[in-house]
A and B are shown apart, each in its own frame.
Chain A
Amino acid sequence: MSLVTPPGQEDPFVGLADGPVIVEDTDETVAEDKGVARKPFWRRFLREWTAVAGLVFILLVIVCAIFAPWIAPYNPTALDLNHLNAGPSATHWFGTDDLGRDILSRIIWGGRTSMRATFEIVGFAAVIAIPIGLVAGFFRGALDSGIMRLMDALFSFPPLILALTVAALLGSSINDLAIAIAIVFVPSFVRLLRGQVIAVREENYIESARSLGASSRRLIGRHVVPNVASPVIIQLALALGFALLVEAGLNYLGIGEQPPTPSWGGMLQEGFNFISSSSWALVFPGLAILLTVLSFNLVADGLRDSLGRERPKGRAAKRASEDEPSRLARLRGISPPAPAPEAPAVTGPLLAVEDLRIEFLTNGQWLPVMEDADFHVIAGRTLGLVGESGSGKTVSALAVMGLLPEKVCRSVGMIRFEGQDLARMSEAELRKFRGNDISMIFQEPMTSLNPAFTVGNQVAEQIRTHRGLSRNEASKVAVEMLDRVEIPDAASRAKDYPHSFSGGMRQRVMIAMALSCSPKLLIADEPTTALDVTTQAQIIELLHSLQREEGMAMIFVTHDLGVIADVADDVVVMYAGQIVERSAAHHLYARPRHPYTEALFSSIPQLTPRGEALHAIPGIVPRPDQFPEGCRFEPRCSYADERCRRAPVVLRAAGQPDAPPGEGPAGNGGPTPSADGQGTVARCLRQDELTLAGAPSELVEEAPAAAVATKDDTTPLLELSGLTKQFPIRTGVLRRATGQVLAVDRVDLEVRAGTTLGLVGESGSGKSTLARLVLRLIDTTAGTVLLDGLDITKLTGPALRRQRLAMQMIFQDPYSSLDPRLHIAEIVGEPLQIHTNLSAKAREQRVVEVLGQVGMAPHVLSRFPHEFSGGQRQRIAIARALALEPKLLVCDEPVSALDVSTQSQVINLLSDLQDRLGLAYLFIAHDLSVVRHLSDRIAVMYLGQIVEEGSAEQVYLRPTHPYTSALLSAIPVPDPARQRSRERIVLSGEVTVPVGTQRGCRFRQRCPFAMDVCAHVDPEPYTTPSGTVVRCHLHTEGPALAGATVAGLHVRA
């Protein structure tokens, strides 16, 4: 019956055992050696006993049907007039019907008819629907919409009536009946398959296969079909049950197999004619149908549970990739330590967390994700929790709110808020605190608001719950709150639903909600991680000013040391489920006491001169089941020695002896804020002997001029001129194209052989579209892309595929860029298979060679992508790109999904490969400091246009466009003193959509220097004396500002 359900909704029984949502993604911590041993599909299937029972029953029915002549005790049409309508007995197990025929024999023979028809129906339907669905989903366009309209029409006929009519008009032989019923299944099969194909087509591994030059046939056969197979197989199993129901129904109505040949439906019909006398003739055929259909459904459910989980699809996968930006590392320059400015006076702790231990149930095992956590939050101050993914920072924050998922999570310890222990409270008691005294905002503003209610409603709801206001009053207060968080036009926006707000605006709504009951403590869990750097600056500014007005305390969870420097008074650094260091913020940045803290500081990209390798922490964060016995950071620590391995290390203050757990200073409370660093504790045996470096005091200014100069002499490898891409805007009832979005607008750029061009801009600026145009994954509207002098916008077919070989792409999401169904040897070997005639052996040699280039050992060849961490997958993707020796790599945010410590490893790899292989990079990122470290030249993109392009040092140190300058100043500096005192341009407003007809400078609404001329005249590219090309009237039309340096902006007219 679940044929009736549209794709995506049809699996009510999936998701029961899906892991806890709130756990931080521990994928990053998958160890290479141990890999996740995944049980083969059939073994997972065999664990579902109901499905196995169903399968056994179906096999039994099939065996009976095939061997009916030998198994059936009687001839199904033989009359026995002495036993009419007999009940079950030793001679007739199921009794006899009104003509004295043996019911068991008739059911066995009837199964022959019914099972054959059932499989024929589904077989026919699959043969018709699968090609249609594949074609429609893969090629889209007019063909697709034509097919789908047809399917809609076909779907509009009630299934039984359609089958009945077609069967009646066609005639009544069994094959015709099967075809007639098959038609009923076609539209739902096509819809399901098309939906799946479209979803798979969006995956990066399809795009990368296309950029490898794979033909459509190869894409469908090798990548699409294997990845859509599971849902189709499940749907086919379900369809078998439903087909049997329809077939039996038609037989009951006398269509199809005719009496006296037995069929289950027909037997029921004959029995019904003698309803008062032949009840056994009615019971058993019905039971046969019921049990068979049930068995098909059980098998389908079992397949869904065993096949379906093989790869995280749909929402789960999306969640994983949405979580990825959390690893964005935005760390930046430093200056000498200074005392924390204007820290509020200290009183007793508002919140005291002591000996908190949190465990998660993973594969039937309770594993600790946080151990003996101790920290205090003092009224009015901000505590920063910092750490990489898997460190336990988010679970600690959730534990304070009592929001950990109950079934898979347990915690012990004390959480005292104003003296009351929240950990001992019931859910009902906790509710009085939640949203009232303690509020929380979350990482993902896009999914944290309920899509079904207006934002005003959602803010007002909380006010009514805790402040007892009437509906009307609460709505008024809600609007006031929305106004306070600077949502423009709050009164009318309150009536809108969340989907019409941008990410930044949604986070403002969340803040309005959280602050609506004047909480004493606000817990912010990575509130700016999913946002652009400019929006992040706005949100932090807002939180700052609200905190000043309200005097509330904050717990600020983040992985970003720059953000921590901006907001936190005190900092707790977490690693692998433990606090490793706890200190006052300014002290931590000046004199870290734990090697991990030092290592985090030294991975900051722009503190290392270009051409030198970044400091990278080797290895990856261990998983909870692989925590080392001794110090957890020991395997990655450059200071570790013998002692560190022996026993767990306790948290202690400087100079104190290592005491056993419980007697150390751990229970003595939070870090005291005094400037001399008293109260600083660290979990390191050698903290007294080591002198660790803080965030370095000197920013690296100019790169060696020589290096840049030599590279400039090389010839252009890639030249873009006038490159433009328009997308139609469809509005109104008829969805007509009423305008054009200029996603990429007249872009001129060049990348020289062996050099790197960095491309930066906020999301929505058109960076990724530009990358896809360069690789011609999408077609251009106008302009040319010259690769080695050849215009690839005009090429088609094999010529295009050949030319594309010189370019390869690396995607942001390492999870979706490798086909989960192929093993590493196949993934990396695919380009060789397409373009070369190498023997299998030669191919493998080459694969091993490129894997070696990215630092992967040959034994990974037979593994699957899910066995690797994000950083390792990114290496594999790079290896695949290198297989055919390209000249240019287009890297679309290749490190922004990675953790801080892994990020440096990949950056080092990329710059190493460039030196060795002479590769050119078009490197797209929103993180200017990473871009600066890797790039020779930087281009800044805003609303489809390049607004500034110049040498990396020029653009970074002497920005000439107000937008560049704003982007730079939005990046928080990992130094509390400097970050809080520096002059900044905080951009107001948000990225809009560049409409074709718009005139004037696109940045003018957000530009602090906008002039009259900016509204009317498009600024043309202007080359400054230093060689930077900039699109801004300040340089040509703004004599008043000429030569001025305003907030870091260098105007040199």
Chain B
Amino acid sequence: MASSGGGSLLSFVARRLLITIPLLLLISFGVFCLVLIIPGDPAVTLAGGAKANLHQIALIRHQLHLDEPFWKQYLRWLNGLLHGNLGNSLFMQTQSVASQLRVRFPVTLSIAIGGMFFSVLLGLPAGIISGIRQGTIEDRSVTVGSSLGVAVPDFWLAIMLVTIFAVDLHWLPALGYVPFTQSPLSWADHLLLPWIALGLGGAATIARQVRGAMIDTLDQDYMRTARAKGLSHSAVIYKHALKNALTPAVTVIGISFGYLLGGTVIIEQIFSLPGIGAYALQAINDKDLPVIQGVVLLTAVCFVLINLVVDIIYGFLNPKVRLE
């Protein structure tokens, strides 16, 4: 029953970190295993299937060390990975995957994080208000709005936004990207529509979750205790209910980030943004394995790290979790 030791935030963080390491290893192995699902002889398929010439096939086999035993290939790849080397693109031999990712990742991150902010800023207050004022007009609009928001395909929303605000109204640019360092205003101008398109679904999910969590929390015994103490309405709601209701919302926010990262692939295509999504799409069309592996790995690691942060925030909000 003692509260010391196992319950401290520090040891909780340490434990989370320790769990993350094998997870990352497992992910790297999974990414490497992508080569296994390629039907037929990978070298032939990657080189373009039936129309590939022998020279190309040999080149790819050599570049990917496909003639070595599988575990040796993986260790070689992992070793490169730890040194920041993800290999070179199969078709643009001079281009290292890592360098491309370095250039393109900030773009994708700008879109994803901006979309995340939009989700949270819209979804959180909507969920809270609707949970507190159950059954009112506000609640109903949030409920209906979030049902629609969850169902709307983000790429269609993006298309509609472009049609209305860029093509018809000319309020915002339809395409392109300006780095933040060059002009922050122009950067935001170009990303506003992508953020909305990407973040609306997340906002709806968060609103639904927070609403449910809020209603659940208001139903708890300790809320009755808070009222019995004679606290003001706002202290009852905003102190006692909110912290507990936010706890599950934090998890949802972490998980939606994965969906946002995935969604950038389509959004980047629609808005012609030079992020890793566009890079991945090209690579997928070309079956450019090193590039595909690089992108998948990067997004997965990114997702894991975000969720690590989320877990730690969760542990901070919910002291019970620290004990597991």
| Residues of A participating in the B interface, judged by any CB pair closer than 8 Å | 1-2, 4-6, 9-16, 18, 21-22, 149-150, 152-154, 156-162, 164-166, 168-171, 241, 245, 248-249, 252-255, 265, 268, 271-272, 275-276, 279, 282-283, 285-286, 289-291, 293-294, 297-298, 315, 401, 403, 427, 430-436, 439-440, 442, 444, 447-453, 461-462, 465-466, 496-497, 499-502, 510, 513, 731-735
A462 lies within 8 A of B34 (CB): no
Contact with A along B142-180 (1 / 0, CB 8 A): 010001101111111001101100010000000000000
Chain B residues within 8 Å of A252, by CB = 155, 266
A433 vs B225: C-alpha distance when bound (angstroms): 14
CB of B124 to closest CB in A, whole Å:
13
Q: Which of the residues A169, A254, A294, A448 comes within 8 Å of B221, measured between beta carbons?
A: A448
Q: Which of the residues A152, A427, A450 comes within 8 Å of B222, measured between beta carbons?
A: A450
CB of B118 to closest CB in A, whole Å:
15
Jot down 10 A-B pairs with beta carbons below 8 A, ordered by A. Answer: A4-B255, A4-B256, A10-B209, A12-B212, A158-B299, A252-B155, A286-B160, A447-B220, A499-B319, A499-B323
A452 vs B213: C-alpha distance when bound (angstroms): 14
B284 interface hit (Cβ, 8 Å): yes
CB of B278 to closest CB in A, whole Å:
11
CB of B32 to closest CB in A, whole Å:
12
Q: Which of the residues B163, B235, B320 comes within 8 Å of A497, measured between beta carbons?
A: B320
Chain A residues within 8 Å of B148, by CB = 290, 294
CB of B307 to closest CB in A, whole Å:
8
Contact with A along B196-227 (1 / 0, CB 8 A): 00000100110011111101100111101111
Q: Which of the residues B11, B224, B292 comes within 8 Å of A448, measured between beta carbons?
A: B224
A286 vs B227: C-alpha distance when bound (angstroms): 48
B205 lies within 8 A of A275 (CB): no
Contact with A along B112-151 (1 / 0, CB 8 A): 0000000000000001000000100000000100011011
B153 lies within 8 A of A289 (CB): yes
B43 interface hit (Cβ, 8 Å): no
Give the 10 A-B CB pairs with smallest separation, nearest first: A12-B212, A160-B262, A435-B230, A434-B230, A158-B262, A286-B156, A435-B229, A294-B151, A293-B151, A500-B3
CB of A402 to closest CB in B, whole Å:
9
B192 interface hit (Cβ, 8 Å): no
A12 lies within 8 A of B213 (CB): yes
Known: A1-B204, A452-B317, A733-B18. A500 touches B1 (CB 8 A): yes
B304 interface hit (Cβ, 8 Å): yes
B270 lies within 8 A of A272 (CB): yes
Chain A residues within 8 Å of B215, by CB = 12, 15-16
Q: Which of the residues B216, B261, B285 comes within 8 Å of A161, measured between beta carbons?
A: B261
Tell me the chain B residues, 241-285 only, with Cβ under 8 Å from chain A.
243-244, 247-248, 251-252, 255-256, 258-259, 261-263, 265-266, 269-270, 280-281, 284-285
Chain A residues within 8 Å of B296, by CB = 157, 161-162, 165
B204 lies within 8 A of A169 (CB): no
Contact with A along B22-42 (1 / 0, CB 8 A): 110011001000100111000
CB of B219 to closest CB in A, whole Å:
6
Besides A170-B37, A249-B153, A513-B229, 15 other A-B contacts (C-beta < 8 A): A9-B213, A9-B252, A15-B212, A22-B224, A153-B26, A169-B34, A290-B156, A294-B147, A315-B216, A439-B228, A452-B243, A462-B231, A466-B230, A500-B3, A510-B225
A442 lies within 8 A of B224 (CB): yes
B240 interface hit (Cβ, 8 Å): yes
| Size bracket of the B interface | 35 or more
A531 vs B304: C-alpha distance when bound (angstroms): 43
Chain B residues within 8 Å of A254, by CB = 285
Known: A168-B284, A289-B156, A447-B221. A156 touches B23 (CB 8 A): yes
Known: A275-B167, A451-B319. A435 touches B228 (CB 8 A): yes
A300 vs B3: C-alpha distance when bound (angstroms): 42
Chain B residues within 8 Å of A448, by CB = 221-222, 224-225
B14 interface hit (Cβ, 8 Å): yes
B280 lies within 8 A of A161 (CB): yes
A152 vs B27: C-alpha distance when bound (angstroms): 9
Chain A residues within 8 Å of B163, by CB = 275, 279, 282
Chain B residues within 8 Å of A15, by CB = 212, 215-216, 219
A241 lies within 8 A of B151 (CB): yes
A433 vs B22: C-alpha distance when bound (angstroms): 56
Chain B residues within 8 Å of A499, by CB = 319-320, 323
B181 interface hit (Cβ, 8 Å): no
B233 interface hit (Cβ, 8 Å): yes
Q: Which residue of A lies closest to B225 (CB)?
A: A448
Q: Which residue of A lies closest to B229 (CB)?
A: A435
B201 lies within 8 A of A1 (CB): yes
A248 vs B243: C-alpha distance when bound (angstroms): 38
Chain A residues within 8 Å of B304, by CB = 156
Chain A residues within 8 Å of B2, by CB = 500
B225 lies within 8 A of A442 (CB): yes
Chain B residues within 8 Å of A16, by CB = 134, 215
Known: A159-B262, A290-B152. A733 touches B37 (CB 8 A): no
B69 interface hit (Cβ, 8 Å): no
Chain B residues within 8 Å of A21, by CB = 219, 221, 224
A20 vs B204: C-alpha distance when bound (angstroms): 28
A158 lies within 8 A of B300 (CB): yes
Chain A residues within 8 Å of B224, by CB = 21-22, 403, 442, 448
A13 vs B256: C-alpha distance when bound (angstroms): 19
B7 interface hit (Cβ, 8 Å): yes
B205 lies within 8 A of A276 (CB): no
Q: Which of the residues A149, A249, A435 comes within 8 Å of B26, measured between beta carbons?
A: A149
B53 interface hit (Cβ, 8 Å): no
Chain A residues within 8 Å of B7, by CB = 500
Chain A residues within 8 Å of B320, by CB = 451, 497, 499
A9 lies within 8 A of B162 (CB): no
A293 vs B38: C-alpha distance when bound (angstroms): 32
CB of A854 to closest CB in B, whole Å:
35
A434 lies within 8 A of B151 (CB): no
Chain B residues within 8 Å of A166, by CB = 34, 37
